[in-house]
Amino acid sequence: MIGITSCGYHVPFCRLERAHFGQAWNRRVGKGERAAIYFDEDALTLGFEAAQRCLEYVGNKKVDALFFASTSAPFWQRSTASFLAAACDLSAACETSDFGGSLRSATAALRAGVDALNSRRLSTLLVATGEVRDGQPGETEEEWFGDAGSAVTLGRENVLAEIMGLATYSSDFWDEWRRDGDAFIQTQASRFSTERGYQKSLIAVGKSLLEKHGVQAQQVAKVILPSPNGRAHGATAKKLGFQEAQILDPCFAEIGAPGSAAPFLLLAAALEVTNPGDLLLLLNYGDGADGVLLRVTEEIRKRPLSSSLSDHLSEKRLYSSYQIFQKMRSYYKHHQEAAELSNVLLEKEESQNVRLHGTLCLRCGTRQYPLTQVCGGCKNRDSLHEVPLEHTGRIFTFTRDHLYVAPDSPTIMSVVDVDQGGRLYLQMTDVDPEDVRVEDPVVLTLRRRKEGPTMHNYYWKCRPAR
Amino acid sequence: MGTTLKDQVAVIGVGCIKFGDNFDQGYEDMAAEAAYAAFHDARIAPEEIDAAWLGTYSPAQGHGKAAVSLGDALRLYNKPISRVENFCATGTDAFRHAVLAVASGMYDTALVLGVEKYKDRPGRGLAREGVHPYYHDGSTAPGLFALAATRYMHEFGLTRETLAKVAVKNHRNGALNAKAHLQKEVTPEAVLTAPIVAYPFGLYDCCPTTDGAAAAVVCRADLAKKYRADHILVKGVGLSVTSGRPFMDPNFDYLGFRATQNASAQAYAMAGITDPLKEIDVAEVHDCFTWTEISNYEDLGFVQKGQGAKLIEEGRTALEGDIPVNPSGGLKSFGHPIGASGVRMVYEIVTQLRGEAGPRQVTDPKLGLVHNVGGPGAVSCVAVLSQP
């Protein structure tokens, strides 16, 4: 049996109410909010947070491949998957691939992953996605798009949802696109695009998948479609024969349309409300369509579910204006924080800076960071071992620093004692500055730091445990 | 430890310029003014100086990371000169080096010069140099000390109201000092309602960024009378370096600074001090932030850990108290040009011990203490001075 063994999502802590777009551009807008990155987030960091949720469940020991899918990866040339593999502390022998170019990139990665598992080349695959979606300022898409990350692991053991079948449909339809060099997504959105693009492709792939497996629409527990505008998914699902109750809420009012991040995010949401034996039909659109038919297994009952998507979405900060939303998206496009970092330093320190390894002294038991040649506890040099540090901890002390130049002052600087040992000095993110206390539990997260003249750089921050 | 240098070295002259936003003075202008004031005070000619130590943390623009900035400022060439850079202990450590060199017998006289020019730099606060791109990203000087203050307050229940009393005291002293950067008194209300710089520190909990220079001339104690009858003797010095990454040290309790505890223990042992609270008559300690002064009371052994607030609450460290601390106004009010500060503190203690401090003179001091700590808590240097 091949299937989904874990899933995770990360919706940015920050949102902008759509009403602010109306105020900024003096026009009618939709209801609800869109998810919006903070200045330190991008497609890679959103994907990392989601991947981290999967690895909390399945661990990173058995993962032998990491695929990353996005239409908004931070580099045109430089593998996000390879960086994430290091950040997830996967072995250098693992397989990494990047998928992009289409909103179908996530399901394209899934299709490739299923083939690799079927061929027995891979045993456990992590597929992460992340999207930062920029519509033309002032246009409807700016308000409809959303930012998010999602991830699944695929494998043969402890499968939560078996993959029964796949289908795909290719179409060279001009719906949304971004030329090389375009800062914003181009569209010719209209009823024509919805009907001849979105609806036509999804119905084609949905029908063929159901027919191939002899499944009637009423046998499916949930049909999962990303929605470009909060409406089109419903009409399309109904044309496929589904009833309202079968259609999964695409969270358009809370997130918006998060592109390649949508399929796994919504699949994860569906797995929170389904039971063993349920059939799920996941459809994804973009220059054609992909379909995945899944059956939920008994394993779903064993999965500890500490929080749901609605819990995750309820933890948020609403940006107070359109200007702040824009500032957070563009800050690092206009501000450099550092001179170029040397690739010698980046290579030499990868295990501590990216993999978050520290030194464990076997003599006195002190875990310390960064890697050291001499134990800070007992001065011993002979019993030192490189070990991964935990990604959770507690605030030992902190300050709210208004002097440090940052796009969102004050900067919370915290000293964090990580669980099992090791102490880190980290900026804190995704938090109300007035709501930080000594001893608060935190989670480590990877964020954009030290933007250089030609490089995007990443280092750890912490955020409240949620 | 080697042989003690107690009573072997004398301070025969000191000089200090007006600290502040010295927009009309460059690095060399300040260096020359302070050095020649010390030469004049010591009644010594520049060519009689055998060696010199320069305390400068951030080299002036165009001066480089060497001792040439002292040589060029004073046109003092073909002499052994070293530049010392040791975080906020830079000035006192430069003094310590000169004292050690004279005590060794290598030189009869030495100049110590501390200079720092900050107000010709762009940006806010103290420029951070030589830091790791990630590990120190987000740190500022107030932010780093605030980490300690937050933990201390969590542990001992200290409040911002008590911190404010340090600012009020030191501003009161500074208002009496014509060379201080901020010569004005502040009220507790003003301290508590000022904008936050790095919680728990507001604007008045922080020392300013200041330009300044100070100098001292030291010589062999047995030759001191040749220059001045009322010279001051060096009783002891101490320097301690601990981790510059306290925020990554899992064994650090963040309740005070080990470097200060160690450096003062060294200096006290050399000077024969066993009860610092009783024996020390006047102290210039490193009050970069209000909390630092309270921790210093403890780390310097005046009181037990956690009891520092009592000294300020009971007024014992005020000008009229039994252990006046920072009669100059301290870094808080006098200003803190890093490399100049330690030498400026030597200037203040020498002036106090000579009884020449005017309106801020403490009553009949015999033994005085100079203390710097930086890093925060990574480096501390202490010197004990006395009347002969």
Q: Give which of A113, A62, A109 is closest to A88, Cα–Cα.
A: A62
Give the pLDDT confidence of A332-358 residue by residue, as tens digits: 998 888 788 899 999 999 999 999 999
Catalytic residue among B63, B171, B231, B336: B336
Neighbours of A447 (CB within 10 A): 25
Report the pLDDT value the prediction gives residue B1, as an integer from 0 to 100: 54
Task: Report the distance separating Cα B106 and Cα A160, nearest Å.
Answer: 80
- Choose the CATH number for A343-355+390-464 among 1.10.150, 1.10.287, 2.40.50, 3.90.1750: 2.40.50
0.90 exceeded by pTM = yes
The verdict on a CB contact (< 8 Å) between A399 and B124 is no
The verdict on a CB contact (< 8 Å) between B198 and A459 is no
The verdict on a CB contact (< 8 Å) between A450 and B137 is yes
CA distances from A12 to A47, A401, A410 (A): 11, 23, 19
Rg for chain B (alpha carbons), in Å? 19
Report the pLDDT value the prediction gives residue B121, as an integer from 0 to 100: 83
User: Measured between CA atoms, how close is A402 to chain B, in angstroms?
Assistant: 5
Position B199 in a domain: no
Looking at residues A84-102, what average pLDDT do you find? 97
Give the whole-number percent of chain A exceeding pLDDT 90.
95
The answer, for A415 touching chain B at a CB cutoff of 8 Å, is yes
The verdict on a CB contact (< 8 Å) between A404 and B138 is yes
Domain A3-334 falls in which CATH fold? Answer: Peroxisomal Thiolase; Chain A, domain 1 (3.40.47)
- More confident: A41 or B3: A41
Per-residue pLDDT of chain B (388 residues; tens, 9 = 90+): 556 899 999 999 999 999 999 999 999 999 999 999 999 999 999 999 999 999 999 988 788 889 999 999 999 999 999 999 999 999 999 999 999 999 999 999 999 999 999 998 877 777 777 889 999 999 999 999 999 999 999 999 999 999 999 999 999 999 999 999 999 999 999 999 999 999 999 999 999 999 999 999 999 999 999 999 999 999 999 999 999 999 999 999 999 999 999 999 999 999 999 999 999 999 999 999 999 999 999 999 999 999 999 999 999 999 999 999 999 999 999 999 999 999 999 999 999 999 999 999 999 999 999 999 998 999 999 999 999 9
User: Measured between CA atoms, how close is B241 to chain A, in angstroms?
Assistant: 14
User: Measured between CA atoms, how close is B307 to chain A, in angstroms?
Assistant: 21
Give the pLDDT confidence of A131-156 residue by residue, as tens digits: 999 999 999 999 999 999 999 999 99
The answer, for A367 touching chain B at a CB cutoff of 8 Å, is yes
Give the pLDDT confidence of A372-393 residue by residue, as tens digits: 999 999 999 999 999 999 999 9
Exposure on the CB side of residue B125, measured as CA atoms within 13 A:
20
Task: Report the distance separating Cα B388 and Cα B385, nearest Å.
Answer: 9
Interface with chain B: mutation pick from A415, A434, A448, highest number of B CBs within 10 Å: A415
Residue from the list A403, A417, A424 with its beta carbon closest to the beta carbon of B125: A403
Residue of A nearest to B195 (CA): A402
Provide, as residue numbers in chain B, all residues whose Cβ is less than 8 Å from the Cβ of A422: 250
Position B348 in a domain: yes
Residue from the list B138, B147, B248 with its beta carbon closest to the beta carbon of A424: B248
User: Measured between CA atoms, how close is A392 to chain B, in angstroms?
Assistant: 15
> Active-site residue B206, yes or no?
no
Interface predicted TM-score (ipTM) of this complex, two decimals = 0.95
Provide, as residue numbers in chain A, all residues whose Cβ is less than 8 Å from the Cβ of B198: 399-403, 410
Contact by Cβ (8 Å): A197, A175? yes
Contact by Cβ (8 Å): A189, A196? no
The verdict on a CB contact (< 8 Å) between A400 and B247 is no
The verdict on a CB contact (< 8 Å) between B151 and A438 is yes
User: SS3 of B302, please?
Assistant: coil
Considering its fold, how many domains does chain B have in total? 1
Q: CATH code at B342?
A: 3.40.47.10
User: SS3 of B383, please?
Assistant: strand
Specify which residues A281 forms β-bridges with.
A223, A293
Residue from the list B124, B134, B147 with its beta carbon closest to the beta carbon of A398: B147
Provide, as residue numbers in chain B, all residues whose Cβ is less than 8 Å from the Cβ of A428: none
Domain that holds residue B50: 9-119+207-386
User: Measured between CA atoms, how close is B261 to chain A, in angstroms?
Assistant: 19
Interface with chain A: mutation pick from B129, B131, B199, B251, highest number of A CBs within 10 Å: B199
Residue from the list A399, A410, A457 with its beta carbon closest to the beta carbon of B150: A399
Residue from the list A366, A377, A450 with its beta carbon closest to the beta carbon of B133: A450
Sheet with A384-388: list strands edge to edge: A367-368, A357-361, A384-388
Position B266 in a domain: yes
> Active-site residue B207, yes or no?
no
Looking at residues A193-218, what average pLDDT do you find? 97
Among A48-52, A191-195, B145-149, B233-237, the range scoring the smallest mean pLDDT is A191-195
Position B168 in a domain: no
Position B135 in a domain: no
Residue of A nearest to B125 (CA): A403
Report the pLDDT value the prediction gives residue B276, as an integer from 0 to 100: 98
Report the pLDDT value the prediction gives residue A86, as an integer from 0 to 100: 98
How would DSSP label each residue in B3-46? ---TTTEEEEEEEEPPPB--TT--HHHHHHHHHHHHHHHHT--G
Looking at residues A96-116, what average pLDDT do you find? 98
Task: Report the distance separating Cα A292 and Cα A305, nearest Å.
Answer: 24
Residue of A nearest to B128 (CA): A404
Exposure on the CB side of residue B365, measured as CA atoms within 13 A:
33
CB pairs below 8 Å between A and B: how many?
109
Report the pLDDT value the prediction gives residue B3, as an integer from 0 to 100: 65
Provide, as residue numbers in chain A, all residues whose Cβ is less than 8 Å from the Cβ of B247: 415, 423-425
Report the pLDDT value the prediction gives residue A25, as an integer from 0 to 100: 97
Provide, as residue numbers in chain A, all residues whose Cβ is less than 8 Å from the Cβ of B245: 425
The verdict on a CB contact (< 8 Å) between A423 and B154 is no
Position B91 in a domain: yes
Domain with CATH 3.40.47.10 in chain A: 3-334
The answer, for A173 touching chain B at a CB cutoff of 8 Å, is no
Position B192 in a domain: no
Report the pLDDT value the prediction gives residue B63, as an integer from 0 to 100: 82
Would the CA dihedral through A185, A191, A192, A197 be positive or negative? Answer: positive
Task: Report the distance separating Cα B175 and Cα A69, nearest Å.
Answer: 65
Position B153 in a domain: no
